[in-house]
Amino acid sequence: MLLSLLNRKEKLKFLDLAMHMVSVDGKPTELEQRLLNIMLAEVGDGIVQEYHFSLSKDLPETIKFFEKATPTVKNIVYLNLLKVAMTDEFYNTAEHFMLEDIRERFQIEELKKKQIMRLVYNERDLRERAKRIVSH
């Protein structure tokens, strides 16, 4: 969501963070892989050709990169990481701690976190309502 607003380097760095997020609790699930593919499509064809789904060894550097970004960029990245973590029905402790560490390092306040979480929940609710409506 809103990943197209990021510049080329931010998109590549975000994809790296997203890969770390889905891998924090083991191998990515099919649902997580599907969401990563959707996000990859959202960042654009130029990035698709450059990016390979593999974990980088520079997670701390990637987080440092975003610490220097604008609040808007940090919020977009955090929103999408939260979306990745909440894709499957199993939101585990490792994901929670990783998200909280990133939130603190990005200096995203608790109120903003709640607003962003509400967006993710609203999107999930809308998707579920749409499924019910088209299925009946």
Q: DSSP letters along 10-69, please? A: HHHHHHHHHHHHHHTTSSPPHHHHHHHHHHHHHH-HHHHHH--S---S-HHHHHHHHHTS
The Cα–Cα gap between 12 and 16 comes to 6
pTM reported for the whole predicted model? 0.86
Share of the chain above pLDDT 90, in %: 47
Q: Structural domains in the chain?
A: 3-135 (1.10.3680.10)
For residue 131, the one-letter residue type is: K
What pLDDT is attached to residue 100?
95
3-class SS at 78? helix
Query: Could you read off the pLDDT of 10-39 as tens digits, one per residue?
Result: 998 998 898 888 888 777 777 777 888 788
The Cα–Cα gap between 49 and 42 comes to 13
Query: Could you read off the pLDDT of 61-111 as tens digits, one per residue?
Result: 999 999 999 999 999 999 999 998 887 666 678 888 999 999 999 999 999
What pLDDT is attached to residue 7?
92
**C-beta atoms surrounding 127 within 10 Å:** 10
What pLDDT is attached to residue 108?
97
